[in-house]
Amino acid sequence: MDVIAEKVAAAKLWLISQPPSSMPRPDSPRALAYLATAVYALRTVPSSDIATIRADQYWRLYVNPLWVGAISVPELGRELAHIVWHLLMDHAGRAAAMGVDAATSEQWHQACDLTVSETLVGEEASPVSVEDRSRQVRTDNPSLGRGRSAEDYFAILSRLPAWGGQQATGPLANNKDCGSACDGMPRASDLPPDSEVGRLDRIQAEQVREQVAIDYREAAKSRGDSPGEAQRWAKHITEPTIRWEPLLARAVRRGVAWASGRVERTWSRPSRRQSVQPEVLHPGWRRPLPGIAMVVDTSVSIDDELLGKAMGEVEGALRGLGVADPQVTVLACDASVGAVTAVRKATDATLVGGGGTDMRVGIAAASTLRPRPDLIVVLTDGYTPWPELPPPGSAVIAAILGRPGATLPETPPWVARVECVLR
């Protein structure tokens, strides 16, 4: 046990240490200091039940004692780097989201190995066996390309074999893959999930990922380049994307609440004080239902898929608040206002257009509706001029529609802005 622990410790140190010269040999240290938090979070579990090395999703590293004794420290260090990237990228959790089972586990491992290989090959820290397997996968599938996510690679690879109808009904057999750290399916050699031996819980694992992502992005600044999947992973960890759907619904609820909080005098309903002073006529008070207008950008540049999703979210928020259907008016607008419709469902509105973009005319037209809307929701990609001043008496919400990576245009300060990016 001491020999195994010492060799694993030496491999971790080799992986994160700086090479002694500017011309490092293949067996020189790799200087991957950004992985320090992750590799030292691994807990070693000797096991003769496996052929080489693997890990489970709880950050427990299973190693065969005879295999560890027979390989060099650099070889072991490369294996550690490969396995720890499976854990950092949460390939096990992503496998569950993709519905990976026993029939598709091999293709998922291939897909994940491709992304990890792309991350480590430039560092000369990828295991030779993994590089050989990945090279063969690319040779057999020339359309794979590079820089894709594991999910993209898996979508291509999983269509290749015939479906065998297998389901994961128990622990998988012990083979030479990376273990449940990659696919989330337990192996017979794994410790029980509830065993506390060397186990990292979800919160601890996320803390490790966050620290490594910060260290990785710092290292990438000095290096000048960064593989696509690793860079996307680090950005996702350090700059998490907040789901826009609840933000849009919250903005709509806030706008409706602002309008619903107002009250108006009415002579059609007597005041409750009338009986106290029967000789004096007192007006009653009513709380008006808020009027809602949706100005929908129908210019040629708009993303129809995202537009439909955003309209559905607004409609759902209004329905949840009990806003009457006839009070929702939809205005189709490109460079001019087209159809104006009051519909039961916003997604049933007539949307015509396809020209340029000028939301000023749509907002102005909404302001002239009678009764005047209390809330105007503008759905647009943002590439439009805006009014200099807000429409009087109406709150305005702008749902800015865009694709990942796009720089979304600015909006006026009086607009309640929600960025809706299609994932």
Contact status, residue 9 vs residue 43, Cβ threshold 8 Å: no
Q: Which residues, other chains included, contact 214 with Cβ-Cβ below 8 Å and sequence gap of 6+?
A: 238
Q: What's the confidence (pLDDT) of residue 164?
A: 38
**CA dist., res. 210 & res. 92, Å (int):** 17
Q: What's the confidence (pLDDT) of residue 102?
A: 87
In DSSP terms, 333 is beta-bridged to: 297, 337
Among 326, 335, 389, residue whose Cα is nearest residue 362: 335
What mean pLDDT is predicted for residues 152-179? Answer: 62
Q: pLDDT tier at 97 (50, 70, 90 boundaries)?
A: confident
Q: What's the confidence (pLDDT) of residue 402?
A: 81
Q: Helices 105-120 and 91-98, interaxial angle, to 10°?
A: 140
Return the minimum-mean-pLDDT range out of 18-27, 181-190, 271-280, 366-375. 271-280
Q: pLDDT tier at 162 (50, 70, 90 boundaries)?
A: very low
**CA dist., res. 289 & res. 299, Å (int):** 31
Q: What's the confidence (pLDDT) of residue 249?
A: 75
Q: Is the pLDDT of residue 24 over 70?
A: no
Q: Is the pLDDT of residue 82 over 90?
A: yes
Q: pLDDT tier at 167 (50, 70, 90 boundaries)?
A: very low
From residue 94, alpha-carbon distances to 79, 97, 133, 151 in Å are 21, 5, 22, 8
For 174, counting Cβ atoms within 10 Å of its Cβ (0-12 exposed, 13-18 middle, 19+ buried), the class is middle
**CA dist., res. 242 & res. 92, Å (int):** 22
pLDDT digits (tens, 9 = 90+) for 305-323: 777 777 777 777 666 655 5
Q: Which residue bears the tokens 């050989």?
A: 132
Could you write out the DSSP letters of every residue in 82-111? HHHHHHHTTHHHHHHHHT--TTTHHHHHHH
Q: Is the pLDDT of residue 241 over 50?
A: yes
**pTM assigned to the model:** 0.60
Q: What's the confidence (pLDDT) of residue 22?
A: 62
pLDDT digits (tens, 9 = 90+) for 352-383: 766 788 999 999 999 999 888 888 989 888 88
Q: What's the confidence (pLDDT) of residue 381?
A: 86
pLDDT digits (tens, 9 = 90+) for 394-423: 889 888 888 766 778 889 999 988 888 765
Q: pLDDT tier at 163 (50, 70, 90 boundaries)?
A: very low
CA 124-129-134 angle, 5° bins: 85
Q: What's the confidence (pLDDT) of residue 146?
A: 87
CATH dotted code for 244-421: 3.40.50
Contact status, residue 279 vs residue 315, Cβ threshold 8 Å: no
Does residue 347 or residue 266 have the better pLDDT? 347
**CA dist., res. 208 & res. 213, Å (int):** 9
Among 292, 267, 290, 288, residue whose Cα is nearest residue 346: 292
**CA dist., res. 228 & res. 145, Å (int):** 12
Q: What's the confidence (pLDDT) of residue 320?
A: 62
**CA dist., res. 35 & res. 119, Å (int):** 12
Q: What's the confidence (pLDDT) of residue 134?
A: 93
> Highest mean pLDDT: which of 154-163, 182-191, 218-227?
182-191
